[in-house]
Amino acid sequence: MSIFQLLKVSFWPERETVNVDDEIYNELKLHGIVAVPAPILHNLSMHFELREKWKQEIIRQVAYYHHYCFVEDNIPITVPYVILKGTSAAKYYPYPECRTMGDIDIITKREDFHIAYQELVDDGYIVVKKEKREIIFTKNDCIVELHFQFASLSDADQAQYLDNLIFDNINSSHILPDFINGLVILEHISQHLEAGLGLRQILDWMMFVDKCLSDDQWSGFETLVGKIGLKKLAIVTTHMCEMYLGLQKRKWCAEADEVLCKQLMDYVLLCGNFGYKRNSDKDVSENVITYAYTPITAFKLLQGRGLINWNAAQRHKILRPFAWIYQANRYIFRGLNRRGAVSKLKSEYTAANNRKKMLKALGVRTKREGIVVFQNGKYVKHKEQF
């Protein structure tokens, strides 16, 4: 049984199923979706040890889901806010508790952001990191991201349009309307596609489409998704779910390029959850060619990876400015000290170019184009980010 067959059985139970093995289980874990087959686990044929391991992992994830919901329900923010992704995506699943939870993403209206920030701090939430679009907190074994911007696009008008849609629909229910929620799920795919994302984010979109985007509903959503430049991504991703995951066919995506759909699915399977399966040192040329497109970004790539990989630089500050030299040599050594190095370098070069073409065909943003951030009261594009 393939991972596609298993997912079809999990979401559309009328289909038949046969055997599963450790390889399928491990692949599901790499994509962050190991609990999805929980409702039909008793119908799957597998060896005893795998069944017991799978049960324990499902129990652990379902327990965390309820802990996550408890923390989310007790967020000490008194101003209006909404939950992005997480439970807002899980509600479209047949069994929401089988959707793996990550961070709790919250966004308030801009004028309320500092109140929400202070309320989290006063309640014992610890600031972990301050990013360009959000501040990250931790407490109770959960990560909470408080956003003052959600959209991560290359076009300032599109980014402002999406964020304003979100802000205009924030209310005391903490839930966005379905169409706006769908835009958030789709834009989340766009945000992470360049670096790599797995089937968990694709399933979020598929479940939203299944519940909210019939042929009759598409015209209303089409207007919104067109204004943020992600109509092509919506159509291709949906048809890909029809081709591989059993989603009922829809007329509005029938003309999608099936070659591009296949290319996207191959890429998703290669990456795993948020690119977890991709190894920067293993896929040497593909990563370098993709991200090091100017001297500045090349330096940032090498310096960033060097600080992660060079233990001596982590211990001694004096070495840290030279981390890029260490990483450059690491790439060269690992890239060339492989069996069939030349052919692998060629294939990685081809893969990098194919990835660029795919992203361009899908119309998603890339770091090369620059990413819009909200600064000093307006949306501005920043380039040379890594």
- Tell me the CATH number at 121: 3.30.460
Burial of 369 (0-12, 13-18, 19+ CB in 10 A): middle
Give pLDDT, residue 344. 61
| Residue 61's pLDDT band (cuts 50, 70, 90) | very high
Given 234, 254, 275, the domain boundary residue is 275
Give pLDDT, residue 385. 44
Do 123 and 70 lie in a common domain? no
What are the pLDDT digits (tens) for 331-346? 777 666 666 655 665 6
User: What's the mean pLDDT in 108-135?
Assistant: 95
Do 43 and 171 lie in a common domain? no
CA distance linking residue 50 with residue 27, whole number of Å: 13
Q: What percent of the chain shows pLDDT beyond 70?
A: 87
pLDDT at 123 over 60: yes
Is residue 244 within 8 A of residue 265, CB to CB? The reply is yes
pLDDT at 124 over 80: yes
What are the pLDDT digits (tens) for 80-95? 999 999 999 999 999 9
Given 245, 275, 305, the domain boundary residue is 275
Do 138 and 254 lie in a common domain? yes
What are the pLDDT digits (tens) for 10-19? 998 776 666 8
C-alpha dihedral over 353, 356, 358, 361, to 10 degrees?
A: -130
Of 154, 180, 79, whose CA–CA distance to 120 is shortest? 79
User: What's the mean pLDDT in 88-111?
Assistant: 95
Do 122 and 219 lie in a common domain? yes
Mean pLDDT, the chain, rounded, equals: 88
Token pair in block for residue 290: 């993709």
| Residue 64's pLDDT band (cuts 50, 70, 90) | very high
| Residue 109's pLDDT band (cuts 50, 70, 90) | very high
Is residue 205 within 8 A of residue 238, CB to CB? The reply is yes
Structural domain range at position 348: 284-382
Do 58 and 145 lie in a common domain? no
Do 239 and 262 lie in a common domain? yes
Given 52, 74, 96, the domain boundary residue is 74
| Residue 386's pLDDT band (cuts 50, 70, 90) | very low
Is residue 351 within 8 A of residue 286, CB to CB? The reply is yes
Q: How many domains does the chain have?
A: 3
User: What's the mean pLDDT in 354-358?
Assistant: 87
pLDDT at 196 over 60: yes
What are the pLDDT digits (tens) for 238-261? 999 999 999 999 999 999 999 999
Do 131 and 207 lie in a common domain? yes
Q: What is the pTM of this model?
A: 0.85
Do 268 and 376 lie in a common domain? no
Do 50 and 135 lie in a common domain? no
Do 54 and 169 lie in a common domain? no
Token pair in block for residue 76: 């000490």
Do 258 and 298 lie in a common domain? no
* Residues 6+ away with beta carbon under 8 Å from 365: 152, 153, 154, 155, 190, 191, 194, 371
Do 300 and 326 lie in a common domain? yes
